[in-house]
Amino acid sequence: MSLETFWFIVVAFFWTGFFVLEGFDFGVGVLHTLVGRETALKAIGPFWDGNEVWLIVAGAGMFAAFPDWYATFFSGLYLALLLILVALIARGVAFEFREKVTSPRWQKTWTWATTLASGAIPLLLGIGLGGMVAGLPIDADGEYTGAFRDIFTAYGVWTGLTLLSLSVLHGAAFLALKTEGAVRDRALALGTRLSLAAIVASVVFAAWHPSVLSVLAAAAVIAAGVLLRAGREGWAFATTAIAMAGTLSSLFVDLFPNVLISSTDAAYNLTVSSAASGTYALKVMTVAAAIFVPLVLLYQAWTYRVFRARVQDSA
């Protein structure tokens, strides 16, 4: 395996890890007013900021290993990424600021910020990631030549809706697993109902670009709905994680050996080999990744173990 291919797999792993871990945080943010705000946010309190690191690492990996991919993709989606950045900031600030003032208007504002930002992030990221596969207007110099509206491809929008629905289902399964009492019961009920939307989204997604991974993801969503109905939240959370991982992985499998497809002309596609950094840079990055990625995984595993207890219902 070439270093270029290896780093394409690493970048795909980072993006997949981000949505598997941060996806349930997004789902909890969307659902928190429906199940019990205090308990829901307390459940993700020890995890959400650490999970967001995966987004930074995914972007940094693209920048270092595939600078042409990073430059074209991030410049073409500049406005969308700016909206994502605003949503990330608003979401993080909302967690901390809501209780600083007791005014109902103040608290309602930050509650809505949490809900809307948590939904907007997976939707917008999905539109961008799906657009890479569907194709964006790229010229012979690797420059994005379209307008803002051109990032909204049909496949990209459906990918965004799929990732949003999966995040919400993933969040419901996490809340059922991490809480007890009325909050757990409401999470199970909501997850059972919301699984129908996630099933439709995943089945259409799999039919659009059929692959073993996308079909596996759709099957996992169906299993999650059945398990939530049966009150088996632990297995349900495992299947929603599989569904999220299968969906993200299928995007990168469909993309390879390209990193960005041009809707202008297939000859203008950015490929793994043409967009990659030099061999020396990739070797240095490989050594660094071999040292630090296992440490990050161990730290996160330790964090989840330490905070594995269910959160008491304060709703």
d(CA 273, CA 8): 10
The pLDDT assigned to 286 comes to 95
173, 240 in Cβ contact below 8 A? Answer: yes
d(CA 278, CA 282): 6
Q: Is residue 213 part of a domain?
A: no
Q: Is residue 175 part of a domain?
A: no
| Residue 41 lies in domain | 3-162+252-306
Q: Enumerate the H helices of 47-103 as residue ranges.
A: 48-65, 67-76, 78-97
Q: Is residue 157 part of a domain?
A: yes
Q: Is residue 235 part of a domain?
A: no
d(CA 189, CA 171): 13
What one-letter code names the amino acid at 54?
W
Q: Is residue 134 part of a domain?
A: yes
Tell me the whole-structure pTM to 2 decimals. 0.94
Count of residues making up the chain? 315
Degrees (nearest 5) of the Cα angle 245, 246, 248? Answer: 65
Contacts of 26 (CB under 8 A, 6+ apart): 118, 119, 121, 122, 164, 167, 168, 170, 171
156, 68 in Cβ contact below 8 A? Answer: no
- Give the count of domains, the chain: 1
Q: Is residue 51 part of a domain?
A: yes
The pLDDT assigned to 314 comes to 61
The pLDDT assigned to 102 comes to 77
Q: Is residue 82 part of a domain?
A: yes
pLDDT in tens, the chain (315 residues): 899 999 999 999 999 999 999 999 999 999 999 998 889 989 998 898 889 999 999 999 999 999 999 999 988 888 999 999 999 999 989 888 877 777 888 888 889 999 999 999 999 999 999 999 999 999 999 899 988 899 999 999 999 999 999 999 999 999 999 999 999 999 999 999 999 999 999 999 999 999 999 999 999 999 999 999 999 999 999 999 999 999 999 999 999 999 999 999 999 999 999 999 999 999 999 999 999 999 989 999 999 999 988 988 764
Which strand (E) or helix (H) includes residue 36? none
Q: Which residue has the tokens 């439709």?
A: 200
